[in-house]
């Protein structure tokens, strides 16, 4: 299964997939990102006209999504590109 982070950063597809097979932390970050994106999809439908708690939850999930994106990109920067990745 292709992690959802690849949809967000398609230019990094090969690097993400390659790093996933070599790095447990990257695997965990991508799994967390997938979970947050699923929760955002569920909560997003309710936040439109929803109660204050739902709106706050949506904002917190959106913040977490941005943090995970930053962490994934930072993690990728610690791994050199392998031959064939570009």
Place of tokens 């995970």: 68
pLDDT bin (cut points 50, 70, 90) of residue 83 is low
pTM of the model: 0.85
Q: Is the Cα dihedral 54, 58, 63, 69 positive or negative? A: positive
Rounded Cα gap, residues 4 and 35, in angstroms: 9
Q: How deeply is 64 buried, as exposed, middle or buried, from its count of CB atoms within 10 A (0-12, 13-18, 19+)?
A: middle
Using one digit for the tens of pLDDT, what is the confidence trace for 19-45?
A: 998 999 999 999 999 999 999 998 875
**Which residues touch 57 (CB under 8 Å, ≥6 apart)?**
43, 47
Domain coordinates in residue numbering, the chain:
5-77
């Amino acid at each position: 299964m292709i992690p959802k982070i690849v949809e967000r950063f398609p230019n990094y597809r090969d690097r993400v997939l390659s790093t996933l097979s070599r790095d447990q932390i990257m695997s965990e970050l991508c799994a967390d990102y997938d979970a947050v994106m699923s929760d955002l999809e569920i909560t997003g439908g309710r936040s439109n006209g929803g109660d204050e708690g739902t709106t706050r939850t949506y904002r917190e999930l959106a913040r977490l999504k941005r943090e995970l994106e930053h962490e994934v990109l930072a993690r990728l920067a610690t791994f050199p590109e392998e031959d064939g990745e570009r």
